[in-house]
Amino acid sequence: MTAATMPAGTGAATGQRPQLSVSQILQMNLGFLGLQFSFGLQQANMSPIWGYLGAEEKNFAWLGIAGPLTGLIVQPIIGSLSDRTASPLGRRTPYFLIGALMCSIGLFFMPLSASVLMAFSLLFLLDVGNNVTMEPYRAYVNDRLESNQRSFGFLSQSAFTGLAQCLAYLSPTLLVTWFGLSKDATADGGIPTFTLVSFWIGAVLSLCTILWSITRVPELKLPEAERARLAALPKTPSATLGEIFHAMREMPKAMKAMAWMSLFQWYAMSGYWGYVTNSISRSVYGTADAGTAAYREAVLTNGQVGAFFNLIAFVAALAMAPMARRVGAGRLHAFCLVLSGCAMLAMPLIGQKELLFVAAIGIGLGWARSWAIPTSSWPIRSHPNGPGSTWASSICSSACRC
């Protein structure tokens, strides 16, 4: 019997994980496509949704607080809890299922929102679900793969991230141009039909891709000694919080530096996502009235520009690894962020749709740098919970986004 055909649990019991085929690694990470499709839908559509529902433009920023706030609170807690879980379903699977179900419910009902308050509440549900799934999924690569396969495991997650976000941004345009949906048809709350259908596609993908991953490549069974160790760990809220604060105190200096650096990068991207549609609508289409056909055209244009900069980011992230070794990661990072900043300054001044794609190259290069520091390369000391522990990636990811 080869390692690839060993029954679930055999590898874990002997301290070795079975080698997976390329197809199996892709299937185990397919759930990341559904997860990132959800993130892409939020980035492209939440600000227009606030506008459709009558929110004032000055309030768009705080209405989008759900993502950073839930990331700050949920990611570290779920990271700690999943490292202590030994359920009949597995260590990470319960979080995959709960998070995917929450995402699907949020995505399904979001375009049916009748008020800003309803959409705001659903956004919290959606972002909690995304964050419940995110950190255990990152740790799942370490849990399931041997060290010689982990690089490809993380790379496949990056590939699904790029593909999913491109598709999420482009889905309204594809529904209009390929499937004949009217640009002017709206639901009861004034939300366009192309937005409603895109979110419903996301709801199906969020749940179905996770179910495919956990059934096709299930978790390995924990050895009895590991189950006993986990059972002996304290499960109280104070123990969880204590571990989180201990992790923050012990965080290496390099990781703290990256968190401060990423803080400003995420601030810029959050501002971009919050206001880019209205900026395009004003500069290219001459209006910011969410009830007009011109505004809906701006939403479609933003989707096309967003898909393009995500494609640039994915290709650039792959190309930057050897480039960083040649010119230095710091210099390359600074150069890309400067280009991204210049592109953001230029976009409100651009009056031609075609030139937006030129600016999107700079946005994409800056966004690529956020992909270029994967959790697998962070200088982290081993944690008592062993390989696959999510505590450090949870803390740093939260610091970066909030």
Q: Residue 280: inside a domain, yes or no?
A: yes
Question: What SS3 class is residue 98?
Answer: helix
Question: What SS3 class is residue 230?
Answer: helix
The runs of H, that is alpha helices, within 217-252 are 224-232, 237-250
Q: Residue 295: inside a domain, yes or no?
A: yes
**What's the chain's average pLDDT?**
83
Statement: residue 380 has pLDDT above 80: no
Which of 214, 212, 180 minimizes the C-alpha distance to 197? 180
Residue 163 vs residues 34, 70, 363, 372: alpha-carbon distances, Å? 10, 25, 17, 16
Statement: residue 401 has pLDDT above 60: no
Q: Residue 352: inside a domain, yes or no?
A: yes
pLDDT tens for residues 253-262? 767 777 777 7
- Using 50, 70 and 90 to split pLDDT, how confident is the model at 108? very high
How many residues does this entry show for the chain? Answer: 402
DSSP notation for 276-343: HHHHHHHHHHS---TTSHHHHHHHHHHHHHHHHHHHHHHHHHHHHHHHHHHH-HHHHHHHHHHHHHHH
Statement: residue 343 has pLDDT above 50: yes
Q: Residue 364: inside a domain, yes or no?
A: yes
Q: Residue 266: inside a domain, yes or no?
A: yes
* Helix 31-52 × helix 147-177 angle, to 10°: 40
pLDDT tens for residues 53-96? 999 999 998 898 887 888 778 877 887 777 777 778 888 899 99
- Using 50, 70 and 90 to split pLDDT, how confident is the model at 371? low
Number of domains making up the chain: 1
What DSSP state is assigned to residue 186? Answer: B
Q: Residue 5: inside a domain, yes or no?
A: no
Q: Residue 6: inside a domain, yes or no?
A: no
Statement: residue 287 has pLDDT above 60: yes
CATH code, domain carrying 225: 1.20.1250.20
Q: Residue 15: inside a domain, yes or no?
A: no
Domain enclosing residue 125, as ranges: 20-401
